[in-house]
Structure 1
Amino acid sequence: MSAHLDTLAFNFFKLFAQYEYALKAMRFARSGSGGQAEPDWDRFANEIGHLILDEASEELTDAINYLFEHPPKKQIIYEGALAWQPVPNNERSPQILFSHIRRVRNNLYHGGKFNGRWFDPDRSEQLINKSLVVLSALREKHAELAEAIYGNQT
């Protein structure tokens, strides 16, 4: 299970990084601190993310429903110790969906999911896999996004 999750996490990180580049290349960017270019995930989700909510295959619908019904928790410090806080789940919008996917990334990247071993590997696998399904589906549905990710293949 651990090697499988490691590979799944690598594939997720790679696609997520490609998305972050693509968003900036497609001008879904804003100026962060010190003028640093940052992807504008909210504007991207609102303008393009709806495409996967409008026409979804069974696999994609299942992935979207899972992320809305079992959103990743937010890691917090409570009374001086690390804890997990449930995320409110009262809205189904593209912006919230991509917020959940970004939280999956943040929990992985900032070490909330493992310290040499995976915490709750079954849930981690579901969250990573469902996020990959959503990101892959949108990449294949939107030509400009796919071109920004893959580059000109001709």
Structure 2
Amino acid sequence: MTDVERFELSRQIAASPSAVFAVLRDPAGHVKIDSSGMLQSAEGELVGAVDDTFVVHMDRESLNDYPLGKYDVTVVITKYEPDALIEWTIRGRVTTEPLRHLYGYRLEPKDGGTLVTTYYDWSQIPEDYRGKGIFPVIPEAGLRATLGILARTVEQQG
């Protein structure tokens, strides 16, 4: 168990903030860049504001940690600034209330491309979930791998 309750990693990507953001606001984009293998498919419209939602069909067997099998979660956008910031939490199988573990991306134009910072913050999870070894769901290496897939995805779109 770790005392850390937030991971934050950055990577320079050779694409504009708008190209990167286009992937991040698209429910299918989340599936395309997922490094965990849990995200199977998504349904919903492009997000454009705080409180927008979409559904992701999940398969927890990819992590081989909890026998949840296939299930759905609803992604709830908690911060939204076009071409600059997107953050979300999820509601899902365990509870219809958001668990308050937050995922996000900050985008900053830099050196002819975009400095992309991704983060995963579980500091606000309910007390019931603390100390049970559930969080973090995604390891730091998973976030780093997702940044690599995001870079490949937007740089190949050119």
- Name the structure with the higher helix share: 1
Which category describes the TM-score, using the shorter chain as reference length?
A: 0.3 to 0.5
Structure number, greater radius of gyration? 1
Please give the TM-score of this superposition, normalised by the length of structure 1.
Answer: 0.33
- Name the structure with the higher strand share: 2
Please give the TM-score of this superposition, normalised by the length of structure 2.
Answer: 0.32
User: Higher relative CO (CA 8 A, sep ≥ 6), structure 1 or 2?
Assistant: 1
